[in-house]
Amino acid sequence: MSLSKRRGFVFPSSEIYGGLGSAWDYGPLGVELCNNVKQAWWRWMVHERDDMEGIDSSIILNRSVWKYSGHEDTFSDPLVDCKECNSRLRADKLELSKRFHQAQDEALRQHPLRSLAGTYDTQALLDRKWLSCPNCGSDSLTNLRSFNLMFRTTIGAAAEDDDPTALAYLRPETAQGIFINFLNVQTTMRRKIPFGIAQIGKSFRNEVTPGNFIFRTREFEQMEMEYFVRPGEDERVHQEWIDYCFDWFKTLGISPDNLRFYEQPKEELAHYAKRTVDIHYRFFPEREDEERQWDELMGIANRTDFDLKAHSKKPEKEGERINKDSTEDLSYFDEATKERYYPYVIEPAAGVNRTVLAVLMDAYTEKVNDKGEKRVILRLHPELAPIKVAVLPLAKNKPEIVALAHAVKKELQPAMRAVYDDTGGIGKLYARQDEIGTPFCVTVDHQSLEDEAVTVRDRDTWGQERVKAAELQEYLKKRLGIAC
Ligand code: GAP
């Protein structure tokens, strides 16, 4: 976090006004890193496949979308307040109180095999004062209530704040924008099942307990894809996507030692999911308990035909239309088999911000130089590095060297993100670029004026090589793996 702030990746938002709990702004290097992550995902997900289309749907959608998707009724967290310290807490994050442990000991004395855990639901545990606040330890907590996580707003200048006809939400997932466009994309692009629709964009959730830097925020960005398949094919395709996604994170340079699969147990599944496997990253390596080191980076869900059916006017229950507001039927007619069905949906859904956090954490390394000084090196994958090359003049008081360095930088600029820097001694300039993950530094020196060659220094090995200025662009492109 301190490197992120110091070097312009991520700043606490609204800092000059005391901040805004868990909101973050991406600085000059952070925005490049986010863009590179999104571009890498888009290329892998959309451009390199034949069965994919992309869209960019609206953040504010017709309220009916959230009614029929189930979010109005079920997208909520169980919440309690601590009467002692006034903390607002998610009920599933409460701890067992002293009273609970006393009752448990007593129960075990009477019936050695009787464990109380899991016998009562959360409200019953609260009634008995068997839960406590993780912040102050008090068992004086309010009753359980449900808190919908969608941000509300009103549409139109004349709308009153509580006018239900003007009520709208900021989307809590990008997925619904894809489902409601399923027919538009399928017909305009003449797609046959199986195919997918991908989208990257902001989502908003009024999280009860945001925190851990950019891990959980109220405004965040998602990279989601909905893959439509024939019912019956869903389980096989789901497993394929689980494996593809795991491999994608490895191509970003993330160590597989810090990635794992997590099969969501039935009680954790979202209302629409038949099976969900998360990819976890070791976001909390400092925690002693190994199990608590991991948390979700991405979820890959089998959403069945829940969403397309829910948004269709057609399906009926006991002769009555389930969806009275939709004007379309989102079922699919399979020309080959002459069957009509609601496609099943496999959904890989990742967070941009969590991917950025994982990439930063994984790339962070420290190295000691010949003088015994500790240096930070951000070993970012070249595709993700905010700056690909820094051009540094060895003597900034020599106009010919400075001019040549500027010319070299200008030459590289259209092909890759290049910067010029002469604001310190060469050792300091190298160290700065190592710290922000720049794969190569190019040094222009006195000799360059005679032999028209420059020195290329590698971030990871600190090895140096002399390269002709005229061949530099091709040389760097090859070493960075940038396609022409
Ligand atoms: N459409 C399915 C869906 O939204 P999710 O597991 O709730 O599934 C997908 O979200 C991904 O979005 C998560 O794996 C995580 O990377 C990211 N995400 C979710 N809530 C977030 C938050 N409050 N802050 C940052 N990222 C979040």
CA of 297 to the centre of ligand 1 (A): 8
Cα separation, 361 vs 379, whole angstroms = 10
Residue 126 confidence (pLDDT): 93
Q: What token pair was written down for 95?
A: 């701890």
The continuous run of DSSP H or E covering 474 comes out as: helix 472-480
CB 207 near ligand 1, within 6 Å? yes
Which residue has its alpha carbon closest to ligand 1 atom 15?
351
Q: What token pair was written down for 327?
A: 């004007």
Which residue has its alpha carbon closest to ligand 1 atom 20?
216
DSSP letters spanning 338-404:
TEEEPPEEEEEEEEHHHHHHHHHHHHEEEEE-TTS-EEEEE---TTT-S-SEEEEES-TT-HHHHHH
Q: Is pLDDT at 317 greater than 60 in this prediction?
A: yes
Straight-line distance from the first to the last Cα atom of the chain, in angstroms, rounded to the nearest whole number: 35
Beta strands in 57-138 (DSSP E): 76-81, 88-90, 95-96, 131-132
- Which residue, 287, 261, 289, is CA-closest to 275? 261
Alpha helices in 128-280 (DSSP H): 175-179, 182-188, 234-251
Per the model's pLDDT, the better-predicted residue between 120 and 356 turns out to be 356
Which residue has its alpha carbon closest to ligand 1 atom 21?
216
CA of 456 to the centre of ligand 1 (A): 41
Residue 117 confidence (pLDDT): 62
Distances (CA, A) of 18 to 15, 22, 23, 234: 5, 12, 11, 49
| One-letter identity of residue 363 | A
Q: Is pLDDT at 71 greater than 80 in this prediction?
A: yes
Q: Is pLDDT at 42 greater than 60 in this prediction?
A: yes
Pairing of strands 440-444, 389-393: parallel
CB 386 near ligand 1, within 6 Å? no
pLDDT in tens, 160-200: 777 888 999 999 999 999 999 999 999 999 999 999 999 99
Index of the ligand 1 atom closest to the CA of residue 216: 24
Cα separation, 411 vs 453, whole angstroms = 14
Index of the ligand 1 atom closest to the CA of residue 210: 23
pTM over 0.85: yes
Cα separation, 41 vs 380, whole angstroms = 16
The continuous run of DSSP H or E covering 200 comes out as: strand 195-204
Ligand 1: residue of 212, 246, 354 to mutate (most ligand atoms within 8 A of CB) is 354
Ligand 1: residue of 22, 61, 222, 276 to mutate (most ligand atoms within 8 A of CB) is 222
The answer, yes or no, to whether the previous bond of 194 is cis (omega within 30 of 0) is yes
Residue 389 near residue 355 (C-beta atoms within 8 A): no
Residue 483 confidence (pLDDT): 66
CB 299 near ligand 1, within 6 Å? yes
Q: Is pLDDT at 447 greater than 60 in this prediction?
A: yes
CA of 434 to the centre of ligand 1 (A): 31
Q: Is pLDDT at 484 greater than 60 in this prediction?
A: no
Residue 160 confidence (pLDDT): 78
Question: Packing angle between helix 28-42 and helix 352-363, nearest 10 degrees?
Answer: 110
CA of 431 to the centre of ligand 1 (A): 35
CA of 69 to the centre of ligand 1 (A): 17
pLDDT in tens, 3-27: 999 999 999 999 999 999 889 999 9
Q: Is pLDDT at 115 greater than 70 in this prediction?
A: no
Residue 108 confidence (pLDDT): 83
CB 351 near ligand 1, within 6 Å? yes
Tokens 């009467």 sit on residue: 83
